[in-house]
Copies of this chain bind each other. A is one copy, B any other.
Amino acid sequence: MVTMSDVAREAGVSMMTVSNVLTGRKRVGEPTRDRVLAAVESLGYEVNLTARHLRAGRTDTVALIVPSFHDYFGEVADRIAPLIEAGGRHLVVERTSADARSEMESLSLPRLQMYDGVFLSVAGLHADELDRVPSSAPIVLLGEREVPGRFDHVRLANVEGARLATAHMLERGARRVLALGGAVGSSAGMESDRQTGWAQAHRAAGLAPGERLVVPVPDFTSEAAFHAVVRLLDDGVPFDGVFAVNDTVAFGAVAALTERGVHLPDEVQLVGFDNLGVSRFVPPGITSVDPGYDAVAATAVRLLEQRMTGSDAPREHVTIPVQLVERGSTRRLR
């Protein structure tokens, strides 16, 4: 490995001069500078970022830590990346280890401290994991769950979105709307708030949201949703609407209904949540609650940058408004 002192020797100057030429932080005489650059070139020198980081006390890197690289998180990551780069830093994405006992947890403090800042998705995080996370470091929490007030937090208007989605179907004649992916017991995840909105819409319409209409979907996979809906159809449980707690779950429902010959939206209407890129293209087009991805990303980045500059402004808990995007899976209002 060729180091800075090699370059210094080759150019006949001190290390400091090499450093100054490379960082451009100090004026260096033209001829000296040329000699240094020539030496850099001829030796093929490259800075060692690890050393720079130790010395500088920062890494110019921000991490986004998510439970998976898919779906909602992929969409968010794609929006956050350019904003972070615009601030002269890098974004790296890490997945929270599936194996919670692992020593390699991304959530270990040393690991978090390797970054100038961290976006941490709280989905799939245990409460005690969150307790161990220090609020001294620049950290912004993302996700649909109650979190301690000592953190900045960006979340969606889940109740409102679910209410909109459900009311949309009720207004269009649906009377038995499933909460697909809902929680039967208590729960602290996104499904909890979204189920609340689903229930609110029912009450606002003078309907009782029957508990039988709440259908859990393990792990919120399309696969599990598919099987849950197939089972409902087999059991002859009547329903004419589906509020899917997210689009991934909605995909499973759409497939199940379509394969069983149930027509969308004439026999059953359906609304999802997240408005994933593909949802517009899944026949008959999935009506979905759009999270305002750009606003999520912009807000999260704003909060993190504020925290990274060392501001001790009070922590903010921001709720991003959502919007219903109407497509073929729900009826047109005449």
Residues of chain A having any CB pair with chain B under 8 Å: 46-51, 53-54, 59, 63, 68-70, 73-74, 77-78, 81-82, 85, 88-95, 97-99, 102, 104, 106, 109-111, 113-114, 222, 226, 248, 251-252, 254-255, 258-259, 277-278, 280-285, 328
Contacts and interface: CB of A to CB of B under 8 A. Distances in A.
Contacts of A49: 110-111, 113-114
A110 B283 contact: no
Contact of A282 (B51, B74, B283): B283
Contacts of A78: 68-70, 95
Nearest to A77: B69
A328 to B, nearest CB: 8
A131 to B, nearest CB: 14
9 contacts: A49-B113, A50-B50, A53-B53, A88-B104, A90-B94, A93-B93, A255-B280, A258-B283, A258-B284
A91 B81 CA distance: 17
A74 B85 contact: no
A109 to B, nearest CB: 5
Contacts of A248: 278
Given A50-B53, A258-B283, A282-B251, A94 B95 contact: no
A283 B264 CA distance: 11
Contacts of A50: 50, 53-54, 59, 114
